[in-house]
Chains A and B, each alone.
Chain A
Amino acid sequence: MSVLIVVESVDGEIKKSSIEAVSYGALLAAKLQVTPVAIAIGVQDQAALQALGKAGASKVLAVASELLKQPQVLPYASAIALAATQEKASVVVLPKSTFSDTLASRLASKLKAGAVTGVTELPDTSAGFKVKKSIYTGKAFTHVEVKSAIKILTVAKNAVQPKEDGGAPAIEAFNPSIPESDFKTKITKTEKASGDLLLTEADIVVSGGRGLKGPEHWGIVLDLAKELGAATGCSKPVSDMDWRPHHEHVGQTGVKVSPNLYIAIGISGAIQHLAGVNSSKCIVVINKDPEAPFFKAADYGIVGDAFEVVPKLIAAAKNYM
């Protein structure tokens, strides 16, 4: 029996969220007294595969197929389902992402498994198998009992501390045979802001809102982010007006983030924006209006004009960091 952990990579590089998922899977496997097995598709680098051992995997299935180089839901679901059967997986763990949610749903159907996305803690296995998950876009939590023999979980950021004390894993090549019909969708083009920190993975996020008055003023957001090593986000009207690209839009209808530190500049704190940030560990709000609702959801606040406060903050960060 095993816990099978799905590793996501971008251009051959393992995502940080996957290291967390492997740690989660390893801790869960220890609880269930089964083997933690990772499956990594499209990762060639041996050192990267070894790192999955550090995070807790005792075995790594490495899939090298050219056909599977780019993440595609159907063939990935087939490959992972085959691996789950081979490894007699009782739980399949995936890092939460827009890709893995779809993957999880197809796996659930293939394996007749109960699936829960975005779990925030290790399961309670004292009686049955219960997991905690956030619902109503962060406004509440639920404890879900999974009753099926095989269980599928996608793991939210910060659900566990990443492990680093694991040993060297057994690395095995895995060559699943994928049906032709899985290649019905064709990727024609990919557009990616290269080199940027991924918003969902970043430990610090600096976001700007309509209070910044226009895209030409984004320099202070970008500079502060650069000083802090942060990813940048924005509120919905900002992406609606094309001041910033859509994938930076944070909130109920955009990206949900849970960094250690979220800094909101010139964002009022509408409930739909808060829905995307309320699982951040620490929230800082900079707003010229002392009555801005965001202060009620913040840990630290500065009432002031962003165009005066933020440049000072950047200068301070230059000396401080």
Chain B
Amino acid sequence: MKILVCITHVPDTTSKISFTDNKFNSSGIQYIIGPYDEYALARAVELKEAGKASSVTVLNVGEADTEPTIRKALAIGADDAIRVNANPRDAWYVASQIAAIATAEKYDIILMGRESIDFNGGLVHGMVAELLGLPSVSPIMKLELDGTKASVAREIEGGKEYLELETPFVAGCQEPIAEWKIPNMRGIMSARTKPLKVVEPVNVEEGISFVSFELPPAKGACKMVDATTPEKLLELLKNEAKVL
């Protein structure tokens, strides 16, 4: 049972977002493994530790600056890593790279986060699955394996749906699919020497392009209502904000 976990390299959730000359301003930004991807990785490592998976490979489509993020994934417990040496232009581009690798390597399960937290597309898992002719499920919050049979729980609006499917498949993950894993010293040490293969991208035709970026308009001041007269709030919501 070979598992591939695809990870994004994204700004920390506390980052202040800004753009200079129509480009993301990365100065002072801390990069992390996408939180949803990290849950996927943690589940893959749990499955390996439980003897249900034989190997966990991480894959990132990114330029050389993503390597510290990939090493962190190795420290968390992946066995080896692949970096496709390219700027992850858009979902279709990334999905095509993942599918190219997966066609050659034949993974039983391909996991990733439900969406990246930079472009919030939520498209890559479905595209990879369609390119490989596999089923896909997302967002899943539980994944159990019994041989080649998987049971998953998928979040739906207002509840959960339980599904069964056979490997191979692709899944988009979210919490609480696994316990959050903090790498230990041994993990960090061994991550330095685990294999990290760099491969060149395949060519992909451009379907979309990001033309420009902007920030949301600044919020006005917050109007305070006295705690002893909360009925004033209802009046303001009705007559001023017109939302009641």
Contacts and interface: CB of A to CB of B under 8 A. Distances in A.
Interface string A281-307: 110110000000001111111111100
A271 B211 contact: no
Given A146-B208, A252-B13, A302 B227 contact: yes
B97 interface: no
Given A98-B138, A102-B136, A228-B244, A143 B211 contact: yes
B199 interface: no
Contact of B208 (A147, A246, A301): A147
A282 B237 contact: yes
B174 interface: yes
Contacts of A188: 151, 162-164
Nearest to B18: A140
Contact of A106 (B130, B216, B222, B241): B130
Given A101-B115, A114-B207, A253-B36, A185 B138 contact: no
Given A193-B159, A253-B36, A302-B225, A101 B123 contact: yes
The interface size bin for chain B is: 35 or more
B209 A105 contact: no
A216 interface: no
Interface in B126-149: 126-127, 129-131, 135-139, 141
B137 A247 contact: no
A145 to B, nearest CB: 5
Contacts of A320: 231, 234-235, 238
Interface string A185-199: 111111111001011
A144 B161 contact: no
A9 interface: no
B130 A114 contact: no
B230 A316 contact: yes
A99 B114 CA distance: 11
Given A136-B118, A137-B120, A296-B222, A115 B244 contact: no
A97 B211 CA distance: 25
Given A108-B92, A144-B208, A320-B231, A189 B161 contact: yes
Interface residues of A, number: 92
Contacts of A317: 234
B174 A253 contact: yes
B186 interface: no
Contacts of B222: 285, 295-296, 298-301
A147 B161 contact: no
Contacts of B161: 187, 189-191
A104 interface: yes
A250 to B, nearest CB: 13
A148 to B, nearest CB: 5
Contact of A98 (B135, B157, B233): B157
A246 B122 CA distance: 19
A109 B127 contact: yes
B46 to A, nearest CB: 18
B118 A135 contact: yes
Given A101-B115, A109-B131, A278-B216, A144 B233 contact: no
B220 interface: yes
B104 interface: no
Nearest to A118: B120
Contact of B210 (A144, A302, A304): A144
Contact of B165 (A109, A117, A118, A184): A184
B78 to A, nearest CB: 21
Given A136-B11, A138-B216, A198 B158 contact: yes
Interface in A219-259: 228, 240, 246-247, 252-253
A18 interface: no
A300 B233 contact: yes
B160 A142 contact: no
Contacts of B156: 98-99, 190, 192, 247
Nearest to A240: B176
A305 B121 CA distance: 39
A317 B166 CA distance: 52
A93 B227 CA distance: 45
Given A105-B91, A135-B213, 11 more contacts: A74-B135, A101-B121, A109-B127, A115-B92, A138-B216, A139-B216, A140-B17, A147-B209, A308-B227, A319-B231, A321-B234
Interface of B: 11, 13-15, 17, 19, 35-36, 91-92, 95, 114-115, 117-127, 129-131, 135-139, 141, 151, 155-166, 169, 172, 174-176, 206-216, 219-220, 222-227, 230-231, 233-238, 241, 243-244
Interface of A: 10, 73-74, 77, 97-99, 101-106, 108-110, 112-118, 130, 134-148, 184-193, 196, 198-201, 203-204, 228, 240, 246-247, 252-253, 260-261, 271-272, 275, 278, 281-282, 284-285, 295-305, 308-309, 312-313, 316-317, 319-321
Q: Which 7 A-B pairs have the closest CB atoms?
A: A105-B126, A304-B227, A114-B207, A109-B130, A192-B159, A316-B231, A101-B122
